[in-house]
Amino acid sequence: MLLDNKKIAIIGGGPGGLTLARLLQEKGVDVKVYERDENKNIRQQGSTLDLHEDTGLKAMQEAGLMDEFKKYYRPGADKMKIVDRNLNVVFNDHTEKPQEDFGNEHFRPEIDRGPLRDLLIASLKEDNVVWNSKFTEMKSSGKGWEIFFENGTTAYADFVIASDGANSKIRKYITDIEPIFSGVTAIEINIYNAEKNASNLWKLVNDGKVFALEHGKTILFSTKGDGTLTVLIGMKTEQNWVKNSGIDFKNKTSVSEWFKEEFKNWSSKYEELFQSNEISIIPRPMYHFPLDQYWKPLSNLTMIGDAAHRMPPYTGEGANQALADALELYEILTSDLFANMEDAIGFFEKKMCARTSEITEITLQQTEAMHDENNLKLLLDFFKEVI
């Protein structure tokens, strides 16, 4: 096996990196995940993840974690409503959605990021995750890399896998291809204890999802098992809008005042988003990488997930593609089909880029439709076709 007697470092403890570590660990590979969080108890931001049959769920199955996944996924969390700017419900599958279950190609069970990470961490040997390891740089060392962390520690690895997300610090060691702005910026809001702090919106979402959209603007709602309401406010902007908007995103009042003006033709009931101080607010400009990106493969370094193929979140493909990366890379590195690491990595990266280029193109088309002037009609027409 190509990885015999090699030390493997995965930088970043997201779903892709942890799943890859689990797969490699079960083959007896010497693998460690270096994660910047101080410990495993850090709160996981972001909405729930829906895993797809041929990518995310397939990786869970191959990692031997499907039984654990079934313990922690949230049945019914995939149900959704569509509302207009006045909160009129124009589509509701809470009562009409057909029953689907594991094994159905259309079934996309939802799981919160925290429980998914917890079950992945629990599947690893305790010393296979090194916490408080914020990457700063790495330097060539023999045939491998010396890796440096902000806390002053270092580590050696024969082979490094970058799984450090959309703002990867390792990608530059592989390629200088820059991301492209999608034309859309989103503002992520997490309202904690939302049943109390945003009770009307919490009831509307009803443990599922709500798409509120009209005239090119979107507000997407989803709940989490811990009582958090996650909201994504999206709209078309120029690339530097976050910096040039004059909004202090660390100040709830500043964001609230902007929202009242920007969404002044929407129901005032949406302003419940800002009634509590138990919230976090994060602006997120949406970027993607070129559809035809290519780089020369290296024998001791590669990348997976958003580090390799970031894209807007509107199709739910980001985590699924990261898990597909993990499974494919594992299968290639533990096979006997390649004479050397460079050939194996070249094959993996070519396959990954082809797969994710197609997904990115679909995602960009849907992102454009979600922020089209006629977005409400386009989304309704889409669901009428698929049901």
Complete DSSP assignment for 114-142: HHHHHHHHHTS-GGGEE-S--EEEEEEET
Mean pLDDT of 242-261: 97
DSSP per residue, 277-301: SSEEEEEEEEEE--TT------SSE
For tokens 């799984």, the residue is 163
**In what order do the strands lie in the sheet containing 30-34?**
129-130, 30-34, 7-11, 159-162, 301-303
122-133 pLDDT, tens digit per residue, is 999 999 999 999
Of 3.90.1150.10, 3.30.9.30, 1.20.1740.10, 3.30.420.40, the CATH number of 180-288 is: 3.30.9.30
Q: What is the overall mean pLDDT for the chain? A: 94
Could you report the per-residue pLDDT of 287-296, keeping only the tens digit for each?
A: 999 999 999 9
For 14-67, write each residue's pLDDT tens digit: 999 999 999 999 999 999 999 999 988 877 777 789 999 999 999 999 999 999
Asked whether residue 74 is marked as a ligand-binding residue, the answer is: no
In three-state secondary structure terms, 168 is coil
For residue 43, say whether it is annotated as part of any ligand binding site.
Answer: yes
321-376 pLDDT per residue, tens: 999 999 999 999 999 999 999 999 999 999 999 999 999 999 999 999 999 999 99
Domain boundaries, the chain: 7-74+113-178+290-368, 180-288
Q: Is 306 annotated as a binding residue?
A: yes
Query: Which CATH superfamily hosts domain 7-74+113-178+290-368?
Result: FAD/NAD(P)-binding domain (3.50.50.60)
Check residue 387 and give its pLDDT: 57
Banded model confidence at residue 97, pLDDT cuts 50, 70, 90: low
- Give this prediction's pTM: 0.94
Q: How confident is the model at residue 98 (pLDDT cuts 50, 70, 90)?
A: low
Could you give the 3-state DSSP secondary structure of residue 373? coil
Predicted pLDDT at 96: 64
